A and B are shown apart, each in its own frame.
Chain A
Amino acid sequence: MLTSESGTSTAEFRPGSGLERWAERHLRFLMLAPTVLILLGLTIFPSVYMFYAAVHKISPNPDLPWEFVGAGNFARLLSDAQFHVALWNTTIFTVVAVATEFLLGLGLALLLDKFIRRLTFLKTVLMIPMMLPPIAVAITWKLIYEPQFGVLNEIMFRLGLPLQAWAGDVNLAMFSIIVADVWQWTPFIFLLMLAGLASLPVEPYEAAALDGASSWQQFRDLTLPFLKPVIAIALLLRVMDALRLFDLVFILTGGGPADRTKVLSLYIYQVAYRFADPGYAAAMSLFVLFVTIILSTWFMKRMRLAD
């Protein structure tokens, strides 16, 4: 029972009062209200607003009204050469980076789980890159790649190898960005795989060993199927993250040289903020959102079917 400081029951919260009964009846809604409000403010409203912006041509002049263009901004995507370049670069980056991170992460997890399980210190060290802010990682790699003073070219020089313009060479720039991303995010895959391996049941392996199954057979027929849900989650999260790559490209190359590293997030940012065309940028953002939803739905469906 609610009481005042003097110990007497307050009229408003007297048991059985209308207000208390109403509060009890609607308690679940009251408890949910903050979450719903936050979701509305931070997710629903901006999403709806983005749909609204995507079908308008928005002038940077506030005195000019927004012009409804329907699917016009989406039609622009078809003929925008820079968008096509950005889409292609994003695809290349996503496929190569995520595949490399997965193979390395899984390999490292298997290695550490099997041979050096007790070296927790090593596991911690391996996870450090993942903990760093992306901007710090980008600046670190910018210094490493710096053609004249960077440590990488210093090593190349001392080894008598030709110096390279790592982030400035058209043939190396995307590779350099992928290397930096792999360095940062392989530990994420490694961490998930390690957790997956730790939860594997022991009995099937004992039975397989008794049956004379080789290590490779055990890995192929037991480990991989058991790990499938973890692999699915890891790949899904990394693909979604890779599709919105921004920091590394912004700091390391600015999208250059020759547009070789211009990715969708960078182009959307340029269109929205540098070219002051938020309607078109919203249309591109929606495109990325749809691609992400379609990809993740397809992926989840496949994994579930496979299970």
Chain B
Amino acid sequence: MLRKLFLTLAIATSALAINGVAWADITILVPSGSEGDGLRAAAEDYAKMKGTKVEAVQAPYANVFEQGANAGATKSGVFDIILMDDPWIPFFAENGHLEDLTAFFKKAGMEGPDSDFLSKSLAVCRNPYNTGPYVCLPYVGNAQMFFYDAAKYKEAGVDVPKTWDDVLKASKMLTENGGGRYFGYVFRGGQGNPVVADFMPIFWSYGADMFNSDRTKVTIDTPEGAAAMKTFMALRDVSPKGVESYNANEVGTALAAGTAASSINWPNWVATFEDPSQSKMVGKISYSPIPAGTKPGSSEIGHWTMGIMSASKNKQEAFDFMVWATSAEQIKISATRGNPPVRTSVFTDPELTSQEKFRHYPVLMEAIQASTPRPRHPKWPEIENAFGIELSKAVAGTVTPEEALKNAQEAVSRITNIY
């Protein structure tokens, strides 16, 4: 009892300290950046319209997970809603931190979210994936796309990169001609989440996966995995020196500054690339689905989703806000604030698609529908860390690609107890 009281007080104090003292009807934990900014703006609109005060507590990406996990573990109830990256859902759901939304839908006379949501966007909000009850609603439709400088690629003899071989062909030539100041490709090689996020689409496009279909075997160290690793190493060789420490900002900056020709990236970077105050490449970057390897390419899905914390004291109010914030009207407003949508009607809205800054919508919608979720496991953060260390070692050249796959296989087996 005492420990719970102590931890609850600590979390409540820190949450209020971040936010400034502000008692609210609903409190939402959101990440910094466009996702959190969008939801915070929506919260202000909601307060004006409905008179319900919604307070958005913003924190850096990793800190959102930590604060959510702490609040869940202590049942503090300090947050009513958490805006989660979708791979976190199994952790939050299976540790009892998230509310099953079934009863709330029933009470509202709904069977569940409406069919205007993209099916892949809804699938991540069910736990287990695509089959279990809804534990959240999708808010930001992130899925990776392939970003490239079409003019440079054309110079290198590739019109539209359809396969990784196309990417390598163009990138090799561009890097060779770049004199150490321009590169054909750039990726997130930073240890942990960054390098895993950029490797997984390549991994999948060669038919590899982390587990077999019934999850009785870890399948990292396979011929398919080796083929993916071979391409990844070839991409490293045409990327800038130091890519081993790159995260999203470094990759985004390289593309926006026109010092790298292509990369896998998240759609919220489109706004930066099309902003003349931040980019030299306005109107010059093209978007395509993830290239194919031996199998069709598949994006990593990375949706931001809203779930109700089990310890919330305002669950009905939280549900009402979530339904309102994910309505077609609000998702459209969110899209104009820079967040990729999760609804078909918004993706195909002529008012948006006629604008230059939304020209990537058809590609993004296709990318979401062809996306793959990261392995759904409550220990995903630990799995991602272990896999990320081995990938980082391979990128840095301290172990061979073969050793990296073997070590990753062992590490993930140890974490998941699947041998």
Contact = CB atoms under 8 A, between A and B. Distances in A.
Nearest to B388: A256
A29 to B, nearest CB: 25
A273 interface: yes
A73 B66 CA distance: 21
A113 interface: no
Contacts of A253: 191, 245
Interface in B222-268: 240-247, 250, 253-254, 257, 259
Given A60-B91, A254-B247, A274-B382, 8 more contacts: A60-B97, A149-B253, A165-B243, A255-B191, A258-B395, A258-B398, A273-B70, A274-B385
User: Taking chain B's interface residues, is the majority helix, strand, or loop, or is none over half, making it mixed?
Assistant: helix
B91 A170 contact: no
A102 interface: no
19 contacts: A60-B73, A61-B73, A61-B96, A62-B73, A82-B389, A147-B242, A165-B245, A167-B245, A256-B389, A257-B392, A258-B389, A258-B398, A274-B62, A274-B66, A275-B379, A275-B382, A276-B69, A276-B73, A276-B95
Contacts, number: 127
A173 interface: yes
Contacts of B242: 146-148, 164-169
Contacts of A60: 69, 72-73, 91, 95, 97
A45 B5 CA distance: 13
A147 B247 CA distance: 13
Contacts of B94: 61
Nearest to A166: B242
Nearest to B76: A62
A146 B254 CA distance: 11
Contact of B393 (A148, A149, A259): A259
Interface in A43-99: 45, 49, 59-63, 82
Among A61, A163, A168, A254: residue with most chain B CB under 10 A: A168
Interface of B: 3, 6, 62, 65-66, 69-70, 72-75, 91, 94-97, 180, 189-192, 240-247, 250, 253-254, 257, 259, 379, 381-382, 385, 389, 392-393, 395-399
Contacts of A163: 180, 241
A168 B192 contact: no
A165 B244 contact: yes
Contacts of A217: none
A215 interface: no
